[in-house]
């Protein structure tokens, strides 16, 4: 009982107050097969020094981008983060930033958020941006809900070339909300089938017109979509056209979704100054046309002038349940990922337009080089012919999961085996590779040599 202030008598009184006889009764709603029976079989207690050694040995078993050559992408990208980003972020006025409940008192926090919004709007070529969201997957789900509010329709169409995790999260969000999600497939070149999309949009008639169409660019297979064509097909049906950006570094080289007529650009911004960190925290974003401002979820910081003519920042919009009437709320988002958004703002400010373009060019050039070399390996070929940014799919002569395991033995974190997301078996030998500015030419040659040996 060393770390617990309550004694045995306190425990009995608390259990009696809630009407149970023992602590185990609190877990009766959990199926017995899922409950731990008996002790946890933990090892004997260790001193702090012993525990550090033990944890260090366990951590050494991990394969990470710090210990292996990494060619894994699919939503988490290994980009270089200048030391200045986190050194600036560790300043106390940034490091302690959080959602202010008396926001105008926290001018530093508001200005950092305002700068993030401005930079995201410029990067995506959209008119406005909110103060960030949880992550890219929940950003898409919020986009679905937003489209239903704006159009008062309950049918949405999402490309199967959108990240499968994003599609799964969107379905979970709307499962009991009367919103129907329909998916459109891809052409053999790895892009969304716009002919099939047109057929889907026209199939329901006037009574079932869609609220939105969502594509990802670059898409889950790395291919660059025909955004202008998709925008035309979508707007002809009166739906909102939403573009998911999972790799924002691509916008250092490509036009933003706004250039092609997107109504909403959303996605994941962790690549802008945040390490992969074993899967998080990540950083969602949403930018849109100004006419959609009042339907955006989360918060929006604005710039104002006070009575003395001095510039200041205000929480212009916060349409969540805690702040306004529930029926008027657009979302119940409880955070704006303030610290990670500030890191992204610092990163974009330091890199500038020229710096991000240089990184994007390196990513594309190295991915192009890697794809050409891998396609020459006997038994391997590039699966899709569409242009790509820094991700591409290679078909192997053997099961991709086997290749991934063998590459680890070679000191390489290989690509993502796509069979995990395909029930038909058609992609069981397909692997999604990614290259960034962090991959050296020597690493690429090592990858090609290892694949030629392990993929026999």
pLDDT digits (tens, 9 = 90+) for 179-196: 999 999 999 999 999 999
Q: Which CATH class, in words, describes the domain spanning 69-81+353-454? A: alpha beta
Cα–Cα dist 161/69, whole Å: 27
**pLDDT at site 79:** 97
Q: How many angstroms separate the CA atoms of 323 and 317, rounded?
A: 10
Contact 381, 396 (CB under 8 A): no
- Tokens for 199, please give them: 């057929």
Burial of 320 (0-12, 13-18, 19+ CB in 10 A): middle
Q: How far apart are CA 69 and CA 358, in angstroms?
A: 21
Position 321 scores a pLDDT of 64
Mean of the pLDDT values across residues 106-115? 87
Summarised one tens digit per residue, pLDDT across range 147-183 is 999 999 999 999 999 999 999 999 999 998 999 999 9
Strand pairing category for 416-417 and 240-245: unpaired
In whole angstroms, give the CA distance from residue 242 to residue 236: 14
Q: Are 127 and 289 in contact (CB under 8 A)?
A: yes
- Give the angle subtended at the CA of 76 by the CAs of 72 and 77, to the nearest 5°: 70
Q: What is the structure's pLDDT at 136?
A: 95
| CATH of the domain spanning 83-348 | 3.40.640.10
d(CA 383, CA 74): 16
pLDDT-wise least confident of 77-81, 279-283, 372-376: 279-283
Which pLDDT belongs to residue 2? Answer: 66
Q: Where in the chain is the domain with CATH 3.90.1150.10?
A: 69-81+353-454
Which residues of the chain form CATH 3.40.640.10? 83-348
pLDDT reported for residue 319: 76
H helices present in 376-437, as ranges: 400-409
Q: Which helix (H) or strand (E) holds 70?
A: strand 69-70
- Would the pTM of this model clear 0.75, i.e. be above it? yes
Arithmetic mean of pLDDT, 44-61: 93
Q: Which residues contact 251 (CB under 8 A, 6 or more apart)?
A: 123, 124, 245, 356, 360
232 falls in which pLDDT band (50, 70, 90)?
Answer: very high
Number of other CB atoms surrounding residue 47 within 10 Å: 8
pLDDT at 322: 65
pLDDT tens digits, one per residue of 3-49: 677 788 888 999 999 999 998 899 999 998 998 888 888 889 999 99
């Amino acid at each position: 009982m060393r770390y617990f202030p309550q004694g045995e008598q306190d425990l009995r009184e608390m259990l009696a107050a809630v009407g149970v006889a023992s602590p185990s009764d609190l877990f009766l709603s959990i199926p017995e097969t899922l409950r731990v029976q008996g002790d946890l079989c933990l090892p004997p207690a260790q001193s702090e020094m012993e525990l550090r050694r033990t944890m260090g040995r366990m951590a050494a078993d991990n394969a990470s981008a710090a210990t292996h050559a990494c060619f894994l992408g699919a939503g988490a990208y290994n980009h270089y983060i200048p030391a200045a980003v986190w050194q600036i972020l560790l300043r106390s006025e940034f490091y302690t930033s959080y959602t202010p409940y008396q926001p105008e008192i926290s001018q530093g926090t508001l200005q950092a958020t305002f700068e993030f919004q401005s930079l995201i709007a410029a990067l995506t070529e959209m008119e406005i941006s909110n103060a960030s969201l949880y992550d890219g997957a929940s950003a898409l789900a919020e986009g679905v809900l937003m489209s239903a509010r704006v159009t008062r329709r309950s049918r949405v169409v999402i490309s199967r070339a959108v990240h499968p995790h994003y599609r799964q999260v969107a379905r979970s969000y709307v499962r009991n909300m009367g919103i129907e999600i329909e998916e459109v497939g891809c052409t053999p070149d790895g892009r969304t089938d716009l002919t099939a999309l047109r057929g889907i949009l026209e199939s329901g008639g006037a009574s079932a017109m869609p609220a939105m169409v969502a594509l990802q660019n670059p898409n889950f297979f790395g291919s660059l979509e025909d955004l202008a064509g998709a925008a035309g097909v979508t707007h002809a049906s009166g739906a909102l056209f939403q573009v998911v950006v999972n790799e924002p570094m691509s916008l250092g080289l490509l036009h933003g979704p706004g250039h092609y007529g997107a109504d909403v650009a959303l996605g994941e911004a962790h690549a802008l100054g945040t390490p992969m960190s074993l899967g998080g925290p990540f950083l969602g974003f949403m930018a849109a046309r100004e006419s959609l401002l009042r339907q955006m979820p989360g918060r929006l910081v604005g710039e104002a002038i006070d009575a003395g003519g001095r510039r200041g920042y205000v929480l212009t919009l916060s349409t969540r349940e805690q702040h306004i009437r529930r029926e008027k709320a657009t979302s119940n988002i409880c955070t704006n990922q303030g610290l990670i958004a500030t890191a992204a703002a610092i990163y974009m400010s330091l890199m500038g337009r020229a710096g991000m373009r240089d990184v994007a060019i390196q990513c594309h050039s190295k991915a192009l080089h890697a794809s050409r070399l891998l396609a020459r390996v006997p038994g391997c070929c590039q699966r899709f012919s569409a242009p790509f940014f820094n991700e591409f799919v290679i078909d192997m002569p053997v099961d991709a999961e086997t290749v991934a395991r063998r590459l680890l033995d070679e000191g390489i974190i290989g690509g993502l085996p796509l069979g995990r997301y395909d029930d038909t078996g058609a992609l069981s030998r397909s692997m999604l590779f990614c290259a960034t500015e962090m991959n050296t030419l020597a690493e690429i040659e090592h990858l090609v040599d290892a694949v030629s040996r392990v993929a026999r």
